[in-house]
């Protein structure tokens, strides 16, 4: 069964509690049905950014004085709104970015979970630390930073927004968000509903292109930037923040290694690993991007992987029974097709698998079937890049020292995983991997736990999100000392 699409929407900016637009709109098409316009999105200007930031600043002056318990309560109300919007808005999100329905529903569920978990930490986070001795009394308080600029990509826009909105608002800041032009509609409608639970100006949204991002990240009243996206764009964000010394949190690209040890059960490993490769058509920052397998297991592992993936069905995300949908953008489609062709040109064994859903024409959208590349040399292009698509290289290794060196031989360091039947061996290996997170016998959405700080090292980012680490990134320490 295929769900019938809904009407085209017109989406404006959310500034100071009101939906506004302007004279300039852009059509956004369904990446799985390129003939269909999903939404007409307002294209903002630096003037729109200035209005939104000014509104956020005025709201901040009073929002920062609201008791932490009350702010936490508002986050819980917002979580209910977000959860209640999922049934209506998840199909819209699918039509925007090409995911399948369960992926969009997961995005909403994870977003609500982030709001709830952050709310549960807020009161305790603001309890001052105090020292009292014969010479002095010291109190270390937490205080808000000011206006937060948030910029999020299209792949999981709901939870990635909440990972910035929740700690920002919990700590007394206000927010101006620039969504991706490729996934703005469902997110903006959800935020419009959530914003009704807060004073006007606490949550603001401005759509647009690079000039809007530049105006937002360089604005004199913005004191904190939360950015998720590509490493190259992040360099521009850091430069824009430099003139006014803004605090930044950057969650960037990854080239996550999955290391299979010689005692791993191949079938049990694939049961879990495949979800970490092809979910969202491989377009997840911490997806498995390269697999390392002991040389004596390589052929058996690849054969077992091919046997599973050859049954995959690729189609529109609102069509029941598909494993994954199209790539989200033309640029990503061309990039992934380019990787496939350039890898084939090296003489590597590139195996195309799966099939398109019945009746689907590949030209209807940005569809790419799953591809497995066998016996890839470490250091090759396909093993050294962030593919962000439906192609996965498998490399044979000879010993543990070699595979650790290869896993760490990357400019990225976001996620990683170790696959083994021996937990102690897995823990020992995990401690040697250079990454923000290492998972053992898992590497997908189910790997995440809100108690774990999430972020990358090297060119995969700065700072951490989730939990107390995420809250701390949006607050300032204020040290007070009374000399007796």
251 is catalytic: yes
Q: Is the dihedral of CA 439, 441, 443, 446 positive or negative?
A: negative
> Which listed residue (251, 381, 446, 468) is catalytic?
251
Residues sharing a CB contact under 8 Å with residue 316, sequence separation 6 or more, in sequence order? 2, 30, 32, 33, 322, 325, 326, 357, 360, 364, 365
Q: Which residue bears the tokens 């053992």?
A: 440
| Secondary structure class of 440 (helix, strand, coil) | strand
Element (H, E) at 95: helix 68-97
DSSP state letter for 319:
B
285 is catalytic: yes
Structure token digits, residue 303 = 């054969």
Residue 430, CB-side half-sphere exposure with 13 Å CA sphere: 20
CA distance 438 to 256: 9
* CB of 282 closer than 8 Å to CB of 387: yes
321: exposed, middle or buried (Cβ count in 10 Å: 0-12, 13-18, 19+): exposed
> Which listed residue (96, 285, 386, 465) is catalytic?
285
CA distance 326 to 148: 33
CA distance 435 to 302: 26
CA distance 151 to 154: 10
Backbone angles phi, psi at 394, to 5 degrees: -120, 125
CA distance 411 to 339: 19
| Secondary structure class of 4 (helix, strand, coil) | coil
* CB of 438 closer than 8 Å to CB of 430: yes
41, 302, 364, 370, 375 from 341: Cα distances, Å: 34, 20, 21, 14, 17
CA distance 16 to 195: 9
End-to-end CA distance of the chain: 75
* CB of 82 closer than 8 Å to CB of 130: no
- Give the residue numbers annotated as catalytic, written as ranges: 251, 285
């Amino acid at each position: 069964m295929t769900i019938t699409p809904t009407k085209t929407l017109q989406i404006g900016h959310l500034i100071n509690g009101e939906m506004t637009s302007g004279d300039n709109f852009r059509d956004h098409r369904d990446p799985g049905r390129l003939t269909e316009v999903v939404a007409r999105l307002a294209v903002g200007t630096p003037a729109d950014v200035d209005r939104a930031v000014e509104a956020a600043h005025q709201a901040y002056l009073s929002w920062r004085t609201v008791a932490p318990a009350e702010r936490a309560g508002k986050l819980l109300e917002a979580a209910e709104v977000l959860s209640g919007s999922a049934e209506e808005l998840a199909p819209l999100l699918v039509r925007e970015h090409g995911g399948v329905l369960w992926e969009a529903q997961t995005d909403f569920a994870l977003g609500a979970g982030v709001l709830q978990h952050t709310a549960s930490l807020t009161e305790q986070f603001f309890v001052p630390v105090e020292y009292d001795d014969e010479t002095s009394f010291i109190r270390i308080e937490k205080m808000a930073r000011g206006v937060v600029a948030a910029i999020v990509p299209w792949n999981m826009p709901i939870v990635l927004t909440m990972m910035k909105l929740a700690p920002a608002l919990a700590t007394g800041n206000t927010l101006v968000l620039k969504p991706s032009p490729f996934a703005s509609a469902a997110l903006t409608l959800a935020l419009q509903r959530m914003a009704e639970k807060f004073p006007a100006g606490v949550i603001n949204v401005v759509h647009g292109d690079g000039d809007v991002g530049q105006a937002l990240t360089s604005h004199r009243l913005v004191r904190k930037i939360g950015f998720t996206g590509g490493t190259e764009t992040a360099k521009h964000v850091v430069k824009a923040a430099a003139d006014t010394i803004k605090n930044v949190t950057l969650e960037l690209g990854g080239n996550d290694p999955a290391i299979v040890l010689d005692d791993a059960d191949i079938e049990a490993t694939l049961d879990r690993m495949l979800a970490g490769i092809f979910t969202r058509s491989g377009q997840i920052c911490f997806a498995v991007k390269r697999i390392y397998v002991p040389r004596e297991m390589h052929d058996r592992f690849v054969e077992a992987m091919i046997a599973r993936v050859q049954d995959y069905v690729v189609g529109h995300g609102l069509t029941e029974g598909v494993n994954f949908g199209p790539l989200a953008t033309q640029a990503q489609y061309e990039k992934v097709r380019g990787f496939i062709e350039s890898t084939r040109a090296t003489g590597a064994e590139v195996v195309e698998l799966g099939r398109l859903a019945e009746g689907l024409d590949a030209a209807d959208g940005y569809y790419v079937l799953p591809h497995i590349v066998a016996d890839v040399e470490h250091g090759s292009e396909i093993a050294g890049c962030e593919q962000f698509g439906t192609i996965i290289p498998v490399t044979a290794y000879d010993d543990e020292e070699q595979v650790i060196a290869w896993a760490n031989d990357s400019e990225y360091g976001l996620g990683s995983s170790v696959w083994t039947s021996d937990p102690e061996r897995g823990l020992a290996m995990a401690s040697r991997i250079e990454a923000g997170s290492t998972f053992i016998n898992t590497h997908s959405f189910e790997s995440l736990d809100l108690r774990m700080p999430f972020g990358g090292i090297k060119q995969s980012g700065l700072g951490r999100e989730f939990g107390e680490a995420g809250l701390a990134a949006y607050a300032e320490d204020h040290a007070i000392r009374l000399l007796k």
